[in-house]
Structure formats: structure tokens, C-alpha cells
Amino acid sequence: MYDGGKIIVGLIIGVGLLLSPFIYNAGTAAKAPDPELTPKAKEAKVCVKSKAYMTANHFSLLDVWRHTVVRDGERYFKAEDGKIYYKSLQVTCMDCHSNKSKFCDQCHDYLNIDPYCWDCHIEPEEK
Amino acid sequence: MGVNRREFLKIAGISTLFGLGGKAAIEVLAPGELEARTEALPLTEGKRWAMVVDAHKMDDALMDKCIEACHREHNVPDLGNPKEEIKWLWKEDYHHSFPGQQHEWIAEDIKHKNFLLMCNHCTNPPCCRVCPTQATWQREDGIVMMDQHRCIGCRFCMAACPFGARSFNWGDPRRVMTVEKLKELNPNFPTNRDYPTRSKGVVEKCTFCTERLAKGQIPACVEAANAVKEGAMFFGDLSDPDSEVRGVLKKHYTIRRKPELGSGPNLFFIV
Amino acid sequence: MLDRALKGTGGYWGWLIFLLALMGIGFGCWLYQFHEGLRITGMSRDVSWGFYIAQFTYLVGVAASGVMVVLPYYLHDYKAFGRITILGEFLAIAAVLMCLLFIFVDLGNPVRIMNVIMYPTPNSILFWDMVVLNGYLLLNILIGWNVLSAERKGVHYPKWVVPLIYISIPWAFSIHTVTAFLYAGLPGRHYWLTAIMAARFLSSAFCSGPALLILLCLIVRRVTNFDPGKEQIRTLAGIVTYAMLLNVFFFFLEVFTVFYSQIPSHMESFKFLFLGLEGHGRLAPWMWTAAGFAFLSLILLVIPATRRKEDILAVACISVIIATWIDKGMGLVIGGFTPNPFERVFPYWPTTPEILITIGVWATGFFVLTVLYKIAVSIKEEVAA
């Protein structure tokens, strides 16, 4: 091929750069996420929605909540069992899940997710 | 045979766009599944919230208490310099609060008086007219609300507001917790852990305490004023003919800031 | 056709590398701004728009001026301008690109910029500005590229380009009218609350843009084998003259209304800009300099003998650009915010990072302009050969 030498060299450098993160981390494995419930959360037994739903969709729920709270003025949520919750990440959710570093951050850190919620919403103080 | 290099690149580019666009289209068009479950429990029933400040009953000390109550409730940082200051509620003298009304022979008591200023929650707000993302808008109950999730920080609303009621977060407000000089000014920041702070790059202002109204409470500044002196501040619904604010407005002559601009401010001052 | 930009003289590459260096510095400063927030600029609670928005305003004018070449050629069959429409269109592309970049660097939350598209707000003039600016960019890219491409192949451009060209003419007027509406509809800013704002914007656009185009044509003639043409430059000079006369006349209309009516809130901004107010008068020497250059440019432009000598014309064009840039790129925005709604004066001056970011954006625009002009000129040189 034309310019074969340059192409081969370029390919080696390119593929090398592409694979460099894997080479750098070869042999190590990140610790699997291990979210812990607080005693208060364990006692509550139920969240605003089922565990399966929340694990898969808590961010969508929070997105709908922030829209309906701020823009529509609808600040209360009725769960399936009829219980009413005040729609607030830092007041309601973090009231039960106050161990953010042992709960939320477990999966977030593993997946390298950095939700910007905490830029404004105040994290619970952890001992 | 073939596709030449140019056509190949064109096809690849357009397929990528379709691929990305297709995914986005699926997400946009899929119906939400949460809406059916949440229910609205309306708590505020006012149609046109307004505030009346009795300038004669107000003094600097009381105003400071109101400002402190507001800024404490909403984690408003003290940034220590007027260039980037954030204020939801503040004091201003007569000359600068009502520049069109100023003249040389003002009554002595007014001349040296400060007035408590905040967002006027206008009936015809120019700020809402200009916001390109509806990050600020007028609610049905008349309150001009802020959605800091949506604000892009263009500051058009700040240019449009004729009253200088809006503040912008030129930097991260939480730096008051780390920068030495600012730590002294803000010893207990955040002062209210049940309310968020803001982040850098968004506009903020008084919201007539919508989060308190939702719980049936009056705005923090009015509560603080009433705790010290009755009748210094009133808050209520102008559309309710029996409301206290309507009574006060009927009884006393009041002025508003820059009424000639037609924005319809809902902050009245008894002078 | 992009490959034409990859072959050039040492001077060409030197210029591009110089621009890239400025772009790099600007970008680095912008990263600093992105991290720290807009507090690193000179803007404040009272002067909440500054240098970036002022540059954007000036450049919308330059972008709109492409129509001053397109209109005579396509609507009035002024064949001479056929030689340089592509230069006007490519200048418009570079200018609109800079406008969009200046808006971007001015945002407090640039990552949310798509909100303007996701939540369309027809009552907001900024929404319409987004629409018309991007539309104009697209129009000029489609028209310019296809017309140039056809010229290279020696054929007539495809028929579907024609309606786009006709649309681009009122569209050019619209981009600057909409930008003027950003300012002219705000009830609390008396320096801007005037019906003549859009007219002033257009008149200053139609002198500053073609003035820049004249200078670019003179440079193109100097450094390449393509001569935009003596007649073309003469006609453009005539356009600059009339537009500058209108521009200065409109300014005096403003001065009359404000100072004859003697309304304090209307007079204060003018006093601040030209005389200083409450001890703050840093802009005054700039504004009088602008007035001086405006006056000089008018003398040189109105007198046919000086207008027709191209080196004096170049001086006149530079004077027009200096005068209009100071008026729009410095006086307009700061003057609108000063004094503030409380009738206090808060001085504003751009900080060093702010200036470096500004220079970086200008360099980006000139980079794109250079590349596009290189392509256009190379093709014209080939066709001529």
C-alpha cells in the first residue's frame, strides 16, 4: 500500500494509545460495589418505590421529581402503598440513606458516575 | 465496484448521525412511566401573592433581622464584595430605591430611611419574557420562580430586570467554606441543611419562599419581622378581597418602584 | 476543496500557527474560566454583560454585512460583485462562528447550552437570535460552498441554491435586527430603550463589515494572485461612506432626543460614557477617540479624491472599524448597564483572562476566515488560469 510504513507505524501508535488504559490497569480489579443500608433504612423496609425499580431507575424518578417540584409546585409523592413522601433528595431520600459514601457512592464510584446533584443539594453529614 | 473514498466518508458520517439521532429519538418518544404514580397535593391557593412593607415601622435593625432570616433559610453566601455579592433581600436608601421620586426637599424621616428591597414578583415580568429556556417563569399564583436545574447562566434576565433584583453566581458559592476570608463571613455555611445551595453559573433571587408556602408557612422575612414588631410587613393574596394585604393597601397610601415601566411590581411600601 | 487550504506559502503557515497559538492561550484561559466561573472576568452583579457580549454584538454586524455584496449582485444584477460575493459570504461564516463562540464563552453553564433548543421559548429574543444566527451560518455555508464548487467545475451552481440566496438577503437584515431587539426591548435600560437601536445596529454593520471586507480584499490582492478588482473596491467604498454617514447621523439623533428632553435617566448613560459619572470615567477617552476616528473616516470617505485612492481608503476603513468597534464593542454594553437600576455607577473593565479569551475567539474566527479565503482564492486563481 502507499505510505505503508507510515500507516503501520501510525496504527501501532494509535492502537497502543487506545489500549493504554487497559494496559495501565492490567492485573488489578476494582472492588465490586457493596451498598449498605442504614439502620433507619432497614427499619423502613420500603423505599418510595420497589428496590428493583429504584436500582434501575432512581435517576429518572429524581428527574421527574425535580421537574414536578420546582416547575409544577407539586411537592408530595404518593407511593403505591398510599404513603405520602415529601419529594426531596436531601430531605427525604438522604434521611434514610444518610450513609452516602457507603451507599450511593458505592455504585457511582465503581461506574465512574459523578452526578452533579451534589453541586447544589447538600450531602448528609457522615460521622 | 465502487464507493470512492469521498462517498465512503459521507456515508459513514451520515450513518453515525442517524445512529445517534435514532437513539435520541427513541428516548424522547418513549412514554414516561412515572407520571401516573405521582399525585399533586396542592397547598398554596393564592392567585396573586404580594408583600407590603411599612417603611415607618421598619428600622435598620429589623431589616437586618429579616435579611438574616432569608439568607439563613436559603443558604445565601456572604461573598464580602459588592462586585459579586448575592442578595435576595437587602436595604437601600430612598434615593436609590426610588430614583425617579428623589428631590432636594424630601421629608426628613424619609430622606434618611432605608427600604427593604427584594424581587417584586411583577405581574408582567420582563425577566420571564426574555429567558430563553424558561428557567425563570411566572407561576399561576403570580410568583416569579427560578429553576436552577435549567438555567444556562446567560444573564439575560439580569439585564431585563429594571430593579436589579437578581444575583448571579460568578463563582462556586460553596467556596465560602474553604477560602479563609470568606469562612469568617460565613461561619455556619450551609446554614440550612434542608435547602440546597446553588452552583456556579446560575442566577438566583427571592422566590417569596415557595418551599415554605407549600407547607402553609409565610415567607421567612415576614415571619422574622412579625416576631419583633407587628405590622411591619404583610404578605398575602391580592386576588382575595378579604385578605390582610388588601385591607392594608386600602387603608394606607403605598408606592412601588418604577411603576411607570408597567411591569406591575407586587411589593408595596407604606410611606 | 478543503485540500486547497493545506498548500500554502511559509507566510500562510506562519500566520496560521500564530493564530493557533492565540487560540491555544485563549482556550487555556477558558478552561480556567470554566473551572473558576465567570468571576475571573470584570463582570459584576451590576454590569452583568461585558466584553464577550459586546464582541458578539459587533460581529453580528460584520456577519450581516455580507448582504451588502450579495444584494447588488443577485437583486440588481451588478455583475462586478460576482467576483467577490464568496469573500463576503466566507467573512459572514467566520463572523457568525465568532458570535456563537462569544455567546458560548459568556454562559455561566455552557454544558446546558442545548436547553435553548430543548425548551424553545418564542417569547424570548435570545431564542430567536439562536435560530437566526445558526440559520444564517447554515445558509452561508450551503450557498458559499456550492457556488464556489460550481465555479471550480466551470458549471452554473445548482438551481436549489437560488431560493437560498434570496432568503439569505432578508435573513441578513434579520440577524442584526434580532440582536438589536435583545437590547431595545428591555424596559429598565434607558440607553438601549430606543426604536433607533435596530437602525443604528444595521447602519454601523453596513459600514464596519464592508470596511473590513475592503481591507481583506486589499490584503488578498497583495498576498495572492487574485485581484478582487478596483471597481468592486470602489463600490464597496461608496457603500461604507453612505452607511457611516447614516450611522453618525443616527447617533446625533439619539444625542438630540436625550439631551433636548433633559430626562435624567436617559442622559446619565451618555454622560457616563463621554464625560464620566461619579468619578468613573475610564471609557471617556475611548469614546472621544471613537468620535475622532469617525470624524476622520467621514472626511476621507466623503471626499472622492481621498476615497478613490486605495491606500487612503485603507486608512479610512481602519478608522471606521476603530470607531464602530469602540462604539459597539465597548460603549454599547457597558453604557447600557451604567448607571445601574439604583442609579449607582459600578465600573467595569475586562480582566486579563477575559481579554485573552476574547483574543482567542477572534483568532479562531480569523483562522477559519484564512482557511476559507485560501480555498476561495486558490480556486479563483485556478479558474483564471
The residue of chain A nearest to residue B213, with distances taken between CA atoms, is A73
What domain range includes position C153?
Answer: 2-384
Would you place residue B19 in the very low, low, confident or very high pLDDT band (cuts 50, 70, 90)?
Answer: low
Q: Which of B195, B227, C343 is nearest to A70 (CA)?
A: B195
Q: What is the pLDDT of residues B101-155, one digit of tens each?
A: 888 888 888 888 999 999 999 999 999 999 999 999 999 999 999 999 999 999 9
Q: How far apart are CA B158 and CA C76, in angstroms?
A: 44
For residue B138, what are the β-bridge partners?
B144
Q: How far is CA A83 from CA A49, B144, B213, C305, in A?
A: 11, 31, 22, 87
Give the count of Cβ contacts less than 8 A between chain A and B: 66
Q: For chain B, which residues make up each domain, given as ranges?
A: 1-33, 49-270
Residue C147 near residue C157, CB atoms below 8 Å = yes
ipTM of the prediction greater than 0.95, yes or no: no
What CATH number does residue C351 fall under? 1.20.1630.10
Higher pLDDT, C157 or A31: C157
Would you place residue B23 in the very low, low, confident or very high pLDDT band (cuts 50, 70, 90)?
Answer: low
Q: How far apart are CA C134 and CA C33, in angstroms?
A: 25
Q: What is the pLDDT along chain C (385 residues), one digit of tens a residue?
A: 889 999 999 999 999 999 999 999 999 999 999 999 999 999 999 999 999 999 999 999 999 989 999 999 999 999 999 999 999 999 999 999 999 999 999 999 999 999 999 999 999 999 999 999 999 999 999 999 999 999 999 999 999 999 999 999 999 999 999 999 999 999 999 999 999 999 999 999 999 999 999 999 999 999 999 999 999 999 999 999 999 999 999 999 999 999 999 999 999 999 999 999 999 999 999 999 999 999 999 999 999 999 999 999 999 999 999 999 999 999 999 999 999 999 999 999 999 999 999 999 999 999 999 999 999 999 999 998 8
Q: What is the pLDDT of residues A72-111, one digit of tens each?
A: 989 999 999 999 999 999 999 999 999 999 999 999 999 9
| Chain B contact present for C46, CB below 8 A | yes
Q: Which residues of B touch C110 (CB under 8 A)?
A: 152-153
What's the confidence (pLDDT) of residue B43?
Answer: 37
Query: Residue C98 phi/psi, 5° resolution?
Result: -65, -40
To test the contact with chain C by mutation, choose from B170, B178, B179, B199 the residue with the greatest count of C C-beta atoms within 10 A, namely B170
Cβ density class B3-23: b for 16+ within 10 Å, e for less: eeeeeeeeeeeeeeeeeeeee
What's the confidence (pLDDT) of residue C25?
Answer: 98
Beta-carbon separation of B152 and C36 below 8 A: no
What's the confidence (pLDDT) of residue B2?
Answer: 62
Rg (CA), chain A: 22
| Chain B contact present for C122, CB below 8 A | no
**How many domains does chain C divide into?**
1
For residue B49, what are the β-bridge partners?
B237
Would you place residue B9 in the very low, low, confident or very high pLDDT band (cuts 50, 70, 90)?
Answer: confident
Q: How far apart are CA C286 and CA C293, in angstroms?
A: 11
Residues 6+ apart with CB under 8 A from C67: C88, C168, C169, C172, C173
Helix-strand-coil split of chain B, %, nearest 5: 35, 15, 50
Cβ density class C130-140: b for 16+ within 10 Å, e for less: bbbbebbbebb
| A30 inside domain | no
Q: For residue B180, how many other CB atoms are within 10 A of its CB? A: 6
Angle at B262 between CA B256 and CA B265, to 5 degrees: 35
Provide mean pLDDT across the span B178-185.
93
The residue of chain B nearest to residue C122, with distances taken between CA atoms, is B132
Q: Which residues of A touch B43 (CB under 8 A)?
A: 75
Q: How far apart are CA B97 and CA C342, in angstroms?
A: 6
Residue C222 near residue C311, CB atoms below 8 Å = no
- Confidence check: pLDDT of B45 > 70: no
For residue B268, what are the β-bridge partners?
B52
The 3-state secondary structure of B159-216 reads HHCCCCCCEECCCCHHHHHCCHHHHHHCCCCCCCCCCCCCCCCCEECCCCCHHHHCCC
**How many domains does chain A divide into?**
1
Q: What pTM value is reported for the model? A: 0.91
Find chains touching chain A: ≥3 CB pairs under 8 Å. Answer: B
Q: How far apart are CA A80 and CA A83, in angstroms?
A: 7
Domain topology for B49-270: Alpha-Beta Plaits (3.30.70)
Q: Which residues of B touch C265 (CB under 8 A)?
A: 99-100
Q: Which residues of A touch B194 (CB under 8 A)?
A: 88, 90-91
Q: How far apart are CA C84 and CA C89, in angstroms?
A: 9
Of B92, B130, B150, the CB nearest to C126: B130
What domain range includes position A94?
Answer: 39-120
Q: What is the pLDDT of residues B186-221, one digit of tens each?
A: 999 999 999 999 999 999 999 999 999 988 899 999
Query: Which string of DSSP letters, residue by residue, matches C32-72?
Result: HHHHH-GGGSS--SSS-S-HHHHHHHHHHHHHHTTHHHHHH
Q: For residue C3, how many other CB atoms are within 10 A of its CB? A: 8
Q: For residue C83, how many other CB atoms are within 10 A of its CB? A: 18
What's the confidence (pLDDT) of residue A126?
Answer: 83
The shortest C-alpha distance from B90 to chain C (Å) reads 13
To test the contact with chain C by mutation, choose from B76, B130, B257 the residue with the greatest count of C C-beta atoms within 10 A, namely B130
Q: What percent of chain A has pLDDT over 70?
A: 100
